[in-house]
């Protein structure tokens, strides 16, 4: 029977030690209840987006003038007159930096758009080319093939 009392006493001592260390641990642990009453906000700064430039002109394919075996004529166009783009079926006309297909495209002229003829005619690549300028913007100018131009009497 002594062994039984010894086991009981040892169990009680272990239980008391566990309770003692639990109380001791609670006493020395930091009190988190105070910080939970005053939470700290976390602020993340996100920069505002920067406006990006939008291209002013987009490339729109336009028909390339067809080669003809007929002799080149000026079709009534002449410097100082106004010419209107037509016959591109809404695709527009490539207005180039020089008279010929090897020159870069400056912009696309739209059907019914009217330009002042400021130069030409120049023959290149089997076409007659005219130097055009928008009456409302001198910077909008370039060379166009005559096949898609017609003379207008009133701009």
DSSP notation for 81-135 = SEEEE--STTS-EEEESSSSTTSPEEEEEPTT-EEEEEEEEEEETTEEEEEEEET
Q: Is residue 135 in some structural domain?
A: yes
Question: Is 122 within 8 Å of 140 (Cβ atoms)?
Answer: no
Res 155: pLDDT? 55
Count CB neighbours of 2 within 10 A. 6
Structural domain of 123: 82-152
Distance of CA 20 to the CA centre of its chain: 70
Q: If you average pLDDT over residues 92-103, what whole number do you get? A: 95
How confident is the model over 113-141, as a mean pLDDT? 92
Buried b (16+ CB within 10 A) or exposed e, 44-64: eeeeeeeeeeeeeeeeeebee
Q: Tokens 């002594």 label which residue?
A: 2
What mean pLDDT is reported for the chain?
A: 81
- Counting the structural domains of the chain, the total is 1
Residue 97 lies in a domain: yes
pTM of the predicted model over 0.95: no
Residue 44 maps to a domain: no
- pLDDT tens digits, 107-123: 999 998 999 999 989 99
Here the tokens at position 5 are: 């009392």
Residue 65 pLDDT more than 80?
A: no
The span from the CA of 17 to the CA of 126, in Å, is 108
d(C-alpha 37, C-alpha 39), whole Å: 6
Query: Domain of 124: which CATH number?
Result: 2.30.30.40
Has residue 36 been placed in a domain? no
Q: Is residue 57 part of a domain?
A: no
The whole-number pLDDT of residue 107 equals 94
pLDDT band, residue 73 (cuts 50/70/90): very low
Give 141's pLDDT tier (boundaries 50, 70, 90): very high
pLDDT over 60 at 137, yes or no:
yes
Task: Pick the more confident residue, 31 or 101.
Answer: 101
Asked whether residue 106 is domain-assigned, the answer is yes
> C-alpha dihedral over 117, 123, 124, 125, to 10 degrees?
110
Assigned domain for 47 exists: no
CA distance 50 to 52: 6
Predicted pLDDT at 14: 92
Residue 138 inside a domain? The answer is: yes
């Amino acid at each position: 029977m002594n062994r039984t009392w010894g086991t009981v006493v040892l169990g009680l001592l272990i239980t008391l030690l566990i309770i003692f260390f639990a109380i001791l641990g609670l006493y020395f642990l930091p009190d988190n209840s105070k910080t939970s009453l005053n939470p700290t906000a976390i602020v993340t700064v996100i920069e505002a987006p920067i406006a990006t430039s939008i291209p002013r002109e987009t490339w729109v394919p336009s028909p390339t003038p067809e080669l003809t075996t007929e002799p080149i004529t000026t079709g009534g166009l002449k410097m100082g007159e106004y010419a209107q783009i037509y016959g591109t079926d809404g695709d527009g006309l490539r207005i180039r930096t020089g008279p010929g297909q090897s020159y870069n495209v400056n912009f696309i002229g739209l059907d019914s758009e009217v330009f002042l003829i400021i130069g030409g005619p120049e023959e290149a690549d089997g076409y007659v080319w005219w130097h055009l300028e928008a009456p409302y913007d001198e910077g909008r100018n370039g060379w166009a093939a005559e096949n898609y131009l017609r003379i207008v009497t009133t701009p």
